[in-house]
């Protein structure tokens, strides 16, 4: 009987050990599967981060410059190779047109229609002549519509019989400043939350005063950084466009010629002036002739002497008297 009980106890122990080993193996497999699933989810989330980071890139790209110049100045800070790029752009266009007031009205209407979120920062009219005005306009346009507006303004003058004098674009990259400001704001808000928790758990008066002072300082820094971040958001979301319109100079018309009435005094004056002019010409000629006579007279004498030597004078016999000939 004792041997039978001993055998049953050994068999039950073996089953228990086998069951525990199976459960241990299943537990290890479950841990491996969980680890693989976590690795896949981590790799999937890490691969999707660059895509989502590039998606909200605010600023559109290329800019054109014509005529003058079109040059652009960029900030010294360069953005990282990932994430959105934050740019501040400003455009200044100078052109000559026939009717500056009409062109100003047309451009204002076109910009407000193209960009419904655009706003005008002011329009100045300055009279430069009879019905001629110099017009200066400044607009704040959305960054997504900036490229289209720039291309339209670059070709407007040529398409409407005017002349593009200059087009200048200024570009400043503030990506590093933007990212640093966001990071500072996040850190300060975290510190603000810790101070609030510490303040709620403080009971001593001295601790409460110390924590409140630190909290006031942190909240002041948060306000300053939020103001700076809001300014950056506004400058990178809306760009400044300035348009200067100058009137084209009208073609000069010659004044009508009026025939003066006949005047005997004027005729005498004109004739006497002609006589004096002719006399001056003759006097000038004789003065020149007299001046060069010191060369002409000796040359003429030499030429005459040579001619006499080469052509001796012939003696012509006079005809005899007919009475002497016995006729």
How much is the average pLDDT of 141-160? 94
Residue 26 has pLDDT above 70, yes or no: no
Residue partners of 75: CB distance under 8 A and separation at least 6: 171, 172, 173, 174
| 71 & 184 share domain | yes
State residue 93 phi and psi, 5-degree precision: -125, 130
Residue 120 pairs with which residues in a beta bridge? 139
Contact 242, 121 (CB under 8 A): no
Distance from chain centroid for Cα 121: 19
Among 208, 234, 249, residue at a domain's last position: 249
Domain for residue 243, yes or no?
Answer: yes
Both 3 and 84 in a single domain? no
- 74 vs 77, 120, 293, CA distance in Å? 9, 25, 80
The answer on pLDDT for 168 being more than 90 is yes
Q: Is the pLDDT score of 145 beyond 70?
A: yes
Length of the chain in residues, anyone?
327
Residue 4 lies in a domain: yes
The strand order across the sheet containing 238-247 reads: 119-129, 132-142, 238-247, 87-97, 163-173
CA distances from 179 to 106, 185, 249 (A): 40, 10, 50
Give the residue-averaged pLDDT of 176-198: 94
Residues 230 and 105 in one domain: yes
In a domain, 267, yes or no: no
Look at residue 296 and tell me if it is in a domain: no
Same domain, residue pair 19 and 160: no
Cα separation of 236 and 181, whole Å?
14
**Number of domains comprising the chain:** 2
CA distance 149 to 143: 10
d(CA 186, CA 314): 134
Note whether 98 and 182 are same-domain residues: yes
Check: CB of residue 67 under 8 Å from CB of residue 155.
Answer: no
Choosing from 249, 271, 292, the residue where a domain stops is 249
pTM of the shown model: 0.53
In a domain, 21, yes or no: yes
Domain termination residue (choose one: 206, 230, 249): 249
Which position has the higher pLDDT, 319 or 247?
Answer: 247
Q: Strand, coil or helix: what is 296?
A: helix
Find all residues with CB under 8 Å of 74, minimum gap 6, and list them.
Answer: 171, 172, 173
Is residue 122 assigned to a domain?
yes
- Give residue 246's pLDDT: 94
Longest dimension (CA), the chain: 223
Residues 6+ apart with CB under 8 A from 145: 114, 115, 118
Residue 131, domain member (yes or no): yes
Q: Are residues 8 and 115 in the same domain?
A: no
Strand partners, 129: 132
Are residues 233 and 122 part of one domain? yes
Regarding whether 105 and 224 lie in a shared domain, the answer is yes
Is residue 246 within 8 A of residue 100, CB to CB? The reply is yes
Q: State residue 46's pLDDT score.
A: 36
Beta bridge partners of 272: none
Same domain, 12 and 155: no
Range of the domain at 10: 1-37
User: Could you read off the pLDDT of 64-116 as tens digits, one per residue?
Assistant: 444 444 444 444 444 445 678 899 999 999 999 999 999 999 999 999 999 99
Looking at the structure, tell me whether residues 28 and 73 fall in a common domain: no
**Poorest-pLDDT segment among 68-77, 94-103, 140-149, 274-283:** 68-77
The verdict on 76 and 170 lying in the same domain is yes
| 115 within some domain | yes
**In what helix (H) or strand (E) does residue 122 lie, and over which residues does it extend?**
strand 119-129
Section 244-270 average pLDDT: 74
Same domain, residue pair 184 and 141: yes
């Amino acid at each position: 009987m004792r041997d039978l009980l001993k055998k049953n106890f050994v068999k039950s122990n073996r089953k228990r050990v086998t069951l525990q080993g199976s459960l241990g193996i299943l537990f290890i497999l479950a841990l491996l599967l969980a680890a693989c699933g976590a690795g896949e989810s981590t790799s999937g989330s890490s691969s999707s981060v660059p895509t989502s980071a590039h998606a909200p890139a605010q600023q559109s790209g290329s800019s054109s410059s014509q005529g003058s110049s079109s040059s652009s100045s960029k900030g010294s800070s360069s953005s990282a190779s990932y994430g959105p790029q934050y740019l501040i752009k400003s455009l200044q266009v100078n052109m000559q047109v026939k009717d500056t007031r009409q062109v100003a009205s047309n451009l204002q209407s076109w910009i407000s229609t193209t960009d419904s979120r655009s706003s005008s920062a002011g329009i100045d009219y300055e009279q430069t002549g009879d019905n001629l005005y110099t017009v200066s306009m400044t607009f704040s346009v959305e960054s997504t519509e900036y490229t289209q507006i720039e291309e339209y303004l670059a070709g407007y003058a040529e398409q409407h019989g005017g002349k593009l004098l200059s087009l200048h674009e200024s570009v400043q990259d503030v990506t590093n400043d933007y990212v640093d400001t966001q990071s500072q704001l996040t850190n300060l808000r975290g510190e603000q939350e810790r101070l609030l928790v510490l303040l709620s758990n403080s009971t001593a008066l001295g601790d409460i005063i110390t924590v409140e002072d630190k909290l006031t300082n942190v909240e002041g820094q948060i306000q300053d950084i939020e103001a700076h971040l809001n300014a950056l958001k506004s400058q990178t979301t809306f760009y400044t466009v300035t348009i200067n319109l100058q009137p084209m100079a009208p073609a000069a018309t010659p004044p009508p010629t009026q025939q003066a009435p006949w005047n005997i005094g004027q005729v005498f004056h004109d004739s006497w002036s002609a006589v004096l002019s002719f006399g001056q010409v003759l006097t000038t000629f004789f003065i020149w002739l007299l001046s060069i006579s010191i060369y002409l007279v000796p040359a003429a004498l030499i030429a005459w002497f040579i001619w006499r030597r080469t052509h001796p004078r012939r003696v012509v016999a006079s005809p005899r008297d007919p009475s002497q000939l016995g006729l």
